[in-house]
Amino acid sequence: MRIVAARQGILWLRQGWGSFRRSPMAWLALVSLYWFLIAMLNQVPYVGPVLATIFLPAFSVSFMSVAQAIEAGNVPALSLLWSGFRQRPSTLITLGGLYLLAMLASLGLSAFADGGVLFNWIVMGDPPAADAIRDGRLASALLVGGLTGTPILMAFWFSPVLAAWRGMGAAKSLFYSFFASLKNWRAFLTYGMGVMAVGMLMSIALTILAVLFGGNAAMLRGIMLALTMLMLPTVFASFYFGYRDVFPDETPEATVESIAGTGDSDTPGPTSDEPPPSNQ
């Protein structure tokens, strides 16, 4: 594991966009198929959304494989969408179950702020009442959810690919992912700012188009769908470039002590030609 410069977060997005540009039809086909499958699963009451969440780590690894194949100059086949289910599937399913439980716990804690409005909205699909928005309860719950959800995302950001490609167990991959994200908080901050900037540009574009076309709902939904389909491959591919940057090549993983910052270790560090990691 290495610490990268803050500017790398923007570079991950640029590389993700480059991956999409190299093979746009393949990316669109794979993302569309994934979106369709998740939509179908979510139509199954109770069980469907649970399975869709549990399968997220496996699909994450699949899209990593897609980005890797395109970087190698290959045209990815649709079968790559299932590749994540063939690489340590039991560990990835375990990670998916842990992710589901962690997010439910985060939403459960938010119920102390709003009496369960946010929980019912996300889990049960019940839209929040107007008074919960007016009196600030929903905003407070969103704040609690953000504070408790951030460390969860840090732990799960790299864990699927570390489990599938590095052979780590569920607990170990979560540990390494959390501290890799923590040590690289500057890069992730710029990455998040980049994603937010793109989202704002999309919102501005939709607002302008709404004015130009008189608020045609069907047309705006179609444009929003098109913009989202362009954005998702970029984001999915950026996960791969972030992983490759923080965990370069096939170098051995850093020791627990060096990642957690708890002191020195007698275990040799990574043996690669990479320059020493920068703390910038």
| pLDDT number for residue 274 | 40
Three-state secondary-structure class, residue 35: helix
Domain chopping of the chain, boundaries:
15-260
Among residues 264, 280, 235, 244, the alpha carbon closest in space to that of 1 is found at 244
**Cα–Cα distance measured from residue 130 to residue 128, given in angstroms and rounded to the nearest whole number:** 6
Distances (CA, A) of 103 to 144, 149, 162, 182: 12, 7, 21, 19
| pLDDT number for residue 253 | 42
Three-state secondary-structure class, residue 109: helix
Please list the pLDDT of the chain residue by residue as tens digits (280 residues): 899 999 999 999 999 999 999 999 999 999 999 999 999 998 898 899 999 999 999 999 999 999 999 999 998 999 999 999 998 999 999 999 999 999 999 988 988 887 888 888 887 777 787 777 787 888 888 888 889 999 999 999 999 999 999 999 999 999 999 999 999 999 999 999 999 998 888 878 777 777 776 666 677 777 777 788 888 999 999 999 999 999 987 543 433 333 344 333 333 333 333 444 444 3
**Cα–Cα distance measured from residue 104 to residue 110, given in angstroms and rounded to the nearest whole number:** 10
| Structure token digits, residue 161 | 């690919």
**Cα–Cα distance measured from residue 66 to residue 88, given in angstroms and rounded to the nearest whole number:** 17
| Structure token digits, residue 8 | 């790398």
| Structure token digits, residue 211 | 């004015």
**Cα–Cα distance measured from residue 32 to residue 139, given in angstroms and rounded to the nearest whole number:** 33
| pLDDT number for residue 204 | 82
**Cα–Cα distance measured from residue 240 to residue 16, given in angstroms and rounded to the nearest whole number:** 8
| Structure token digits, residue 129 | 């009442």
- pLDDT tens track for 84-112: 999 899 999 999 999 999 999 998 898 88
Distances (CA, A) of 73 to 13, 26, 146: 19, 13, 39
| Structure token digits, residue 37 | 């499958």
Task: Find the radius of gyration of the CA atoms of the chain.
Answer: 20
8 Å CB contact between 223 and 209 = yes
**Cα–Cα distance measured from residue 208 to residue 224, given in angstroms and rounded to the nearest whole number:** 13
